[in-house]
Amino acid sequence: MTLGETMAKHMLCILPRWSARVFSVELNGASFYFGLSEQQQNDCGQHGDGVPSVFSAVDQKSHRFYSLLVSSMDRIQRARFHSQLRDKLLRDLPTECNVSPMCSFLPNVQGSVISGYLVKDSSERGSLTEKLLRDYAQHDPVLVCSYSPAEDSQGWTQHLWSSEEKEYNVVSIEEPTYHPSTLNIINSDVFYCVEEASDVLKKCGDIIPEASSVLELLHRHKVKSRDKTDFPVIVIEGLDATGKTTLTESLRDTLGATLLRSPPHCLSQWRARFDQEPPLIRRAFYALGNYITAEQIQQEAMKAPVIVDRFWHSTAAYAIATAVSGPTCNLPEVGSELYVWPRDLPQPSLVILLSLDPEERKRRLRNRGQGKTNEEQELDHNQLFRLRVEEAYRRISGPACVTVDASPSADKVLQQVLLLIRAKCHL
Ligand SMILES: Nc1ncnc2c1ncn2[C@@H]1O[C@H](COP(=O)(O)OP(=O)(O)OP(=O)(O)O)[C@@H](O)[C@H]1O
Ligand SMILES: Nc1ccn([C@H]2C[C@H](O)[C@@H](COP(=O)(O)O)O2)c(=O)n1
């Protein structure tokens, strides 16, 4: 079957429910929603005040809009093509084109999100953009639509560039209860069992040879059981530069404990490689790192207390905060299943979250003067992202984290944490 035939078959699955789908565009930090209607109504109530604001401003009528939704059937291919598509659009389109993240989804239906981009073209040479996007529609796994002012000039029409060339009225809709970015988190951004994360890495063995090495290590470090360990296991969490390294090393020395970290040292050589990959693959790598660390914890906690620098709280909190955009109210609600600890990952005895005023954190980062990962730079530049990570940390349950103010001196923070450990773990 050719790529075109495979895509046509896949599109047939989407199209029957096309008009039930909602479209969401992320523009200047806000989400805009619109829907589709198949009926041709002359009634201006169809559009009128209800024209979705992405299209509503008068001057927008001189622009051309296009949407591209990634429609490959294979989810690894879909994840990789989604991140390549943005680079491709920014490289190929005239500079007057603006590219914003968009997606289409069935309201409140888990796993229904199809991601893509909205292109707003303000260039004089509209034909160039159109020619380019027609070429994408033919050769790439994307479903392309264009938008034009409706004939009654009251609203907008969506033209689907499939073999059917169907048209729909663009209609305004109410904001859905759940932000679409929360709908595809399970086993795409956050993994709730080892099999789901391993499955992702198994499927990318052909394109990422390092994936097989990670799986081999995982096989050698299989978690044996979830039985209670002889000695307590204490996890230290927090944003970068909140003092985790400083504290975990002091705890190791004071308690005569073993210090472990997630991802474990044995994965360090592949971390940078997986950090370049889209969230599906990157998060699966970190999820598996937790299972390898869990096996090391089980071994070591038979002999002495164990201190762990980052564990599942970090994996889930960063993944959820990245998947969701905008303010913290877009996060999955408190008590959501998305915050629940994986059933096959042994739980630590205590999780401490170090919290620090953003200005002091920046000061410590400056003083330390090391290079930063993209996500660390994002924490610096994007205060909404930082708030989402911190809030997601606090919402994770079973075990929930105990927040400790990390602004006093390193010794005071150590004493405070020792008090908590002695109270909770009877050390
Ligand atoms: N309580 C404290 N008061 C003042 N400075 C501190 C304190 N704890 C740590 N620091 C300093 O802040 C900087 C960051 O600390 P540290 O490396 O321990 O943070 P971290 O959370 O492990 O960071 P990362 O996650 O990026 O590795 C270091 O220069 C450290 O010496
Ligand atoms: N168990 C873990 C540990 C780390 N991560 C991710 C989250 C951030 O992107 C980054 C922070 O790690 P650091 O730079 O402090 O080593 O790594 C994770 O997902 N799970």
Copy the structure tokens of residue 56.
């509503």
Nearest atom of ligand 2 to the alpha carbon of 310: 1
How sure is the predictor about 113, in pLDDT bands with cuts at 50, 70 and 90?
A: very high
Q: Assess whether pLDDT exceeds 60 at residue 352.
A: yes
- For the ranges 81-90, 148-157, 247-256, the lowest mean pLDDT is seen at 148-157
Question: In the prediction, which pLDDT does 414 show?
Answer: 98
Q: What is the pTM of this model?
A: 0.91
Per-residue model confidence (pLDDT) at position 266: 97
CATH superfamily name and code, 185-425? P-loop containing nucleotide triphosphate hydrolases (3.40.50.300)
Expressed in angstroms and rounded, the spacing between residue 361 Cα and the centre of ligand 1 is 8
**Residues in Cβ contact with 160 at an 8 Å cutoff, skipping those fewer than 6 apart:** 15, 18, 143, 145, 166, 167, 168
Percentage of the chain lying above the pLDDT 90 cut: 69
pLDDT value for 44: 40
42 pLDDT band (50/70/90 cuts)? very low
Q: What is the ipTM of this complex?
A: 0.98
pLDDT at 416 over 70: yes
For the chain, the structural domain boundaries read 3-183, 185-425
Q: Which residues are near ligand 1 (CB < 6 Å)?
A: 238, 240-246, 364, 367-368, 406, 409-410, 413
145 near 67, Cβ under 8 Å? yes
Identify the pLDDT of residue 389. Answer: 97
Ligand 2 pocket test: which of 236, 261, 277, 310 has the largest number of ligand atoms within 8 Å of its C-beta?
A: 310
Q: How far is the CA of 315 from the centre of ligand 2 (A)?
A: 6
Residue 274 pLDDT > 80: yes
Q: Name 382's Cβ contacts closer than 8 Å, sequence gap at least 6.
A: none
Give the length of the chain: 427
Range from 67-81, 269-283, 302-316 carrying the lowest mean pLDDT: 67-81
Ligand 1 midpoint to CA 85 (Å): 38
CA 229 from centroid of its chain's CA atoms: 33
Does 305 sit behind a cis peptide bond, omega within 30 degrees of 0 on the bond before it? Answer: no
Which position has the higher pLDDT, 28 or 404?
A: 404
- As a whole number, the mean pLDDT across the chain is 89
Using CA positions, which residue lies closest to atom 10 of ligand 1?
243
Rounded to 5 degrees, φ, ψ at 70 are: -75, 120
Please give the average per-residue pLDDT across 159-172, as a whole number: 83
DSSP of 218-247, one letter per residue? HHHT-----PPPSS-EEEEEESTTSSHHHH
